[in-house]
C-alpha cells in the first residue's frame, strides 16, 4: 500500500485549523507556546469568530504570534497589551479581543496595566504564559522564577534575600472585582491541553457575555531556558512549578 | 454667524473633540489640563456621538490605549502636561514606528522633574525632536488662543491621518487656562466602521475572508526591511516639510528685526511689536504654528531683509536652535526667555529686545 492510498479525505482523523498559518514557528522544540497557539486557533475556528477576533501580542517570545494565527493583530509595547486591548475592545465592543502575554510582560513590566484592566473588568481575554523565565532575551530571571532556580541573572539560584519572592499574580488578579474567570492550566499532557482548550473557549464566551475579564494562565515549559530536554522539562514543571503554581480554577462566577 | 462661547482653552479642546468626530479619549489627570477630561466626563459624549471617554491608570496606559484605538483607525486622543508626556514617550515612539494616527495634547508646564504647575515651553525639544527612542518626528501644532485650541483638534486629526503619524498640540499653561470666546464649528459625524474599512484598509477591524490579516507592529528584525521602514518615515517627514508648514506673519513685510515666538509668547510679543513700531523700530513677529515641520524656509526667505532675529520662549532656548539653523549664521540671532513658570510682560520683552539691538 502506497502512502497516497492512505491520505484520502475519508481517512482523515485530524486537520490543522486554517486559523493556524503554515508558517514554521520560531519556538524551540518542546516549548509550550506552539500548543497554546494551536488551542486558541481551534477555539477561534470552532466559535466561527476569525473575522471578529483581534489579538494583542506582547514583547517576548510570542511577539511573532501574528505570524502563526491568521487574524488581525496589534503588537504592543512591553507589558502594555492590556491597555491596548482595553481601547480596542471599548471602541469595538462587538469584537473578541485577547492579549497573549508572558510572565515578564504581564507580571513584571506590565503589572499596572494588567491589574487595572482586570479591575475595570474589561471584557477581554488574557492568555498568560508562565514559564518562569525570560526566554527571548536568553534566560534571565522572571518575576515567577522559583526560589533556587538558576537563570542568567540568578546564576547561583534565586534567593528571597537577593531577588525577592516569586509572584503569584494570578491569585492576586482573582481578588479583583472585575475578573469573572481566573484559571491556571497547562499543556504538558493531552488531557491537560484539552482542559486548557476548554478554559480558553469559556474565556472567549465570557467576553461576549460581558461578564468581565477572563484570565487563563498556562504554566509552561521553556526547556531551552531551563536547559532541560523537552521530556525532562515537563517532569521538572510537574515536580516544581505545579507546587508553587497549582493547576485549577481559582475563580469562576 | 455661529454663537461664541466664553471658555478655557482646555475646555475648547474637549468640545472640539466631541464635535469633530473623535472616537475616544483616554487620559490621566494632571495640572494644568485636567479640564479636558473633566469637561468630557460632564458632557457624556458616549450618550450622543458614541465617543468613548476613559480615565486610565497612568499616562503610560493612556498612550497605549491610543495605540489600540489607532490600530483600528479610530480617531483617538489624549491630553496631559509635561511630566505625563515624559511617560508617554515610549508609546509615542511605538505609535510613530507603527505609523499610527492619533492626537496628543500637551499643555506644557515648567520643568524639569515635577517642576511647577505654572506655564512653560520647555518641552519643545521633546515634542519636535522625537522625545522617545529612534528616528521619528510628530506633527506639532502650537495654538496661541482658545479658538486655536478648538480648531487644531480637527486639524491635528486631519494631519495625523494624512501622514499616519501621531500629531501633537503643544499648548502651554496660559493657553490652556485662559478664557476666551470660542466659535464652535459645524458637527462632523464619527466615521462608521464601514467607512473606516473603506478608507483605511490597514486597520485591525477583524480579518474577513476577502483580505489578508492586518498586523500593526513597529518590529522588523531584518536590517534591510527595518531600514526601509525608517526611510518611509523620513520620506513622510520631508513631505510634511514640503506641504504642511504653517505660520503667521505680523508686520514682517518691511521688518528689519523679527521676533520668533509661539503659543502664549506670540500673543505677548504682538504687543511688543506694537511698542517697537510706535517707537519707529521696524519689528515684526513670526509665529510658527507648526513647530514641526518648522517654518525654516520662511526664515530663510526673510533673513536678507533683516538685521537681527530674536527667539522668545518660556524656556532656556530650545526653538532658538531651529531659528539659528534656518538663519545659518547670516545675522545675529538673539534670545530672551524666562524660566520657572514666569511669563514676561510685553514691556520686559521690549526692553530685552532693545538691549540686544543696542538701543
% of chain A at pLDDT higher than 70: 100
Residue B339 in grid coordinates: 524660566
Q: What are phi and psi of A69, to 5 degrees?
A: -110, 120
Pairing of strands B215-216, B283-288: unpaired
Tell me which residue in A63, A83, A92 faces B65 most closely, judged by beta carbons: A83
Query: Cell 498568560 appears where?
Result: A128
The ipTM of this complex is 0.96
Express each pLDDT in A65-115 by its tens digit.
Answer: 999 999 999 999 999 999 999 999 999 999 999 999 999 999 999 999 999
Pairing of strands B166-172, B102-108: parallel
Tell me which residue in A51, A70, A84 faces B65 most closely, judged by beta carbons: A84
* pLDDT score recorded for residue A95: 98
Of B140, B99, B131, B127, whose CA–CA distance to B230 is shortest?
B99
% of chain B at pLDDT higher than 90: 99
Question: Is A70's CB within 8 Å of B207's CB?
Answer: yes
A residues 202-231 lying closer than 8 A (beta carbon) to B: none
Express each pLDDT in B297-347 by its tens digit.
Answer: 999 999 999 999 999 999 999 999 999 999 999 999 999 999 999 999 999
Q: Grade residue B1 by pLDDT with cuts at 50, 70 and 90.
A: low
Q: What is the 3-state secondary structure (H, E, C) of A206-218?
A: HHHCCCCEEEEEE
* pLDDT score recorded for residue A162: 97
Residues of B with CB under 8 A from a CB of A: 23-24, 26, 52, 54, 56-58, 60-62, 64-69, 71-72, 74, 76, 90-91, 94, 98, 193, 204-209, 213-219
Give one DSSP letter per residue of B136-171, joined into a string: ---EEE---SHHHHHHHHHHHHHHHHHHTSEEEEEE
Express each pLDDT in A33-77 by its tens digit.
Answer: 999 999 999 999 999 999 999 999 999 999 999 999 999 999 999
H/E run at residue B263: helix B263-278
Q: B130 pLDDT exceeds 90?
A: no
Q: Is the four-CA dihedral B9, B15, B21, B22 of positive or negative sign?
A: positive
Using a CB-CB cut-off of 8 Å, the residues of chain A touching B58 are 112
Q: A4 pLDDT exceeds 90?
A: no
Using a CB-CB cut-off of 8 Å, the residues of chain A touching B68 are 56, 74, 76, 83-88, 91
* pLDDT score recorded for residue A101: 98
Express each pLDDT in B141-164 by its tens digit.
Answer: 999 999 999 999 999 999 999 999
Say if CB B6 and CB B30 are below 8 A apart.
no
pTM of the model as a whole:
0.97
Express each pLDDT in B338-350 by its tens digit.
Answer: 999 999 999 999 9
* Largest Cα span, chain A: 65
Question: Is B213's CB within 8 Å of A85's CB?
Answer: no
Say if CB B89 and CB B83 are below 8 A apart.
no
Express each pLDDT in B214-267 by its tens digit.
Answer: 999 999 999 999 999 999 999 999 999 999 999 999 999 999 999 999 999 999
**Cα–Cα distance between A227 and A217 in angstroms, integer?**
23
Q: What share of chain A is helix, strand, coil (3-state, %, to 5)?
A: 45, 20, 40
Residue B299 in grid coordinates: 526664515
Q: A6 pLDDT exceeds 90?
A: no
* pLDDT score recorded for residue B60: 98
CB atoms within 10 A of CB B71: 32
Tell me which residue in B57, B214, B217 faces A112 most closely, judged by beta carbons: B57
Query: What are chain B's domains?
Result: 4-193 (3.40.50.970), 248-357 (3.40.50.920)
Q: What are phi and psi of B116, to 5 degrees?
A: -145, 160
Q: Which residue of A has its CA nearest to B72?
A: A88
Amino acid at each position: 500500500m502506497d502512502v497516497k492510498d492512505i491520505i484520502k479525505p475519508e481517512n482523515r482523523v485530524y486537520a490543522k485549523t486554517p486559523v493556524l498559518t503554515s508558517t514554521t514557528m520560531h519556538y524551540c522544540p518542546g516549548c509550550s507556546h506552539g500548543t497554546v497557539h494551536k488551542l486558541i486557533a481551534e477555539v477561534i475556528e470552532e466559535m466561527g469568530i476569525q473575522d471578529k477576533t483581534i489579538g494583542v501580542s506582547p514583547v517576548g517570545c510570542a511577539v511573532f504570534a501574528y505570524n502563526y494565527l491568521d487574524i488581525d493583530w496589534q503588537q504592543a509595547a512591553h507589558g502594555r497589551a492590556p491597555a491596548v486591548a482595553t481601547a480596542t475592545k471599548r471602541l469595538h465592543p462587538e469584537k473578541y479581543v485577547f492579549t497573549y502575554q508572558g510572565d515578564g510582560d504581564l507580571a513584571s513590566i506590565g503589572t499596572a496595566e494588567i491589574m487595572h484592566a482586570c479591575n475595570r473588568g474589561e471584557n477581554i481575554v488574557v492568555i498568560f504564559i508562565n514559564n518562569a523565565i525570560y526566554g527571548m532575551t536568553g534566560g534571565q530571571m522572571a518575576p515567577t522564577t522559583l526560589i533556587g532556580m538558576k537563570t542568567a541573572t540568578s546564576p547561583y539560584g534565586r534567593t528571597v534575600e537577593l531577588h525577592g519572592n516569586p509572584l503569584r499574580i494570578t491569585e492576586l488578579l482573582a481578588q479583583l472585582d472585575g475578573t469573572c474567570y481566573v484559571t491556571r492550566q497547562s499543556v504538558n499532557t493531552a488531557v491537560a491541553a484539552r482542559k486548557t482548550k476548554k478554559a480558553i473557549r469559556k474565556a472567549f464566551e465570557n467576553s461576549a457575555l460581558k461578564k468581565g475579564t477572563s484570565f487563563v494562565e498556562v504554566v509552561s515549559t521553556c526547556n531551552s531556558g531551563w536547559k532541560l530536554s523537552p521530556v525532562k522539562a515537563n517532569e521538572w514543571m510537574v515536580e516544581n512549578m505545579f507546587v508553587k503554581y497549582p493547576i485549577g480554577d481559582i475563580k469562576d462566577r | 454667524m455661529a454663537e461664541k462661547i466664553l471658555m478655557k482653552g482646555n475646555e475648547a479642546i474637549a468640545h472640539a473633540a466631541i464635535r469633530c468626530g473623535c472616537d475616544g479619549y483616554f487620559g490621566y489627570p494632571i495640572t494644568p489640563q485636567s479640564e479636558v477630561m473633566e469637561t468630557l466626563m460632564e458632557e457624556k459624549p458616549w450618550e450622543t456621538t458614541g465617543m468613548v471617554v476613559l480615565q486610565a491608570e497612568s499616562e503610560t496606559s493612556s498612550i497605549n490605549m491610543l495605540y489600540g484605538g489607532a490600530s483600528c483607525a479610530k480617531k483617538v486622543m489624549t491630553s496631559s502636561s509635561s511630566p505625563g508626556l515624559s511617560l508617554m514617550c515610549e508609546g509615542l515612539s511605538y505609535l510613530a514606528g507603527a505609523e499610527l494616527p492619533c492626537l496628543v495634547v500637551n499643555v506644557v508646564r515648567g520643568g524639569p522633574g515635577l517642576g511647577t504647575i505654572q506655564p512653560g515651553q520647555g518641552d519643545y525639544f521633546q515634542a519636535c525632536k522625537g522625545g522617545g527612542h529612534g528616528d521619528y518626528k510628530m506633527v506639532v501644532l502650537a495654538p496661541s488662543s482658545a479658538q486655536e485650541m478648538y480648531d487644531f483638534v480637527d486639524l491635528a486629526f486631519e494631519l495625523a491621518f494624512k501622514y499616519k503619524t501621531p500629531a501633537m498640540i503643544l499648548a502651554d499653561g496660559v493657553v490652556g487656562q485662559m478664557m476666551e470666546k470660542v466659535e464652535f464649528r459645524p458637527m462632523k459625524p464619527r466615521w462608521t466602521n464601514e467607512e473606516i474599512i473603506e478608507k483605511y484598509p490597514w486597520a485591525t477591524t477583524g480579518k474577513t475572508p476577502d483580505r489578508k490579516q492586518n498586523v500593526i507592529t513597529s518590529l522588523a528584525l531584518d536590517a534591510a526591511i527595518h531600514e526601509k521602514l525608517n526611510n518611509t518615515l523620513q520620506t513622510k517627514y520631508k513631505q510634511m516639510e514640503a506641504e504642511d508648514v504653517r505660520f503667521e506673519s505680523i508686520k514682517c513685510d518691511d521688518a528689519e528685526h523679527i521676533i520668533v515666538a509661539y503659543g502664549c509668547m506670540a500673543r505677548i510679543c504682538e504687543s511688543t511689536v506694537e511698542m517697537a513700531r510706535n517707537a519707529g523700530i521696524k519689528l515684526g513677529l513670526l509665529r510658527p504654528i507648526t513647530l514641526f515641520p518648522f517654518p525654516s524656509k520662511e526664515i530663510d526667505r526673510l533673513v536678507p531683509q533683516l538685521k537681527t532675529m530674536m527667539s522668545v520662549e518660556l524656556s532656556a532656548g530650545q526653538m532658538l536652535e531651529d531659528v539659528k539653523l534656518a538663519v545659518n549664521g547670516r545675522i545675529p540671532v538673539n534670545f530672551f526667555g524666562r524660566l520657572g513658570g514666569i511669563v514676561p510682560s510685553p514691556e520686559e520683552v521690549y526692553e530685552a529686545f532693545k538691549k540686544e539691538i543696542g538701543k
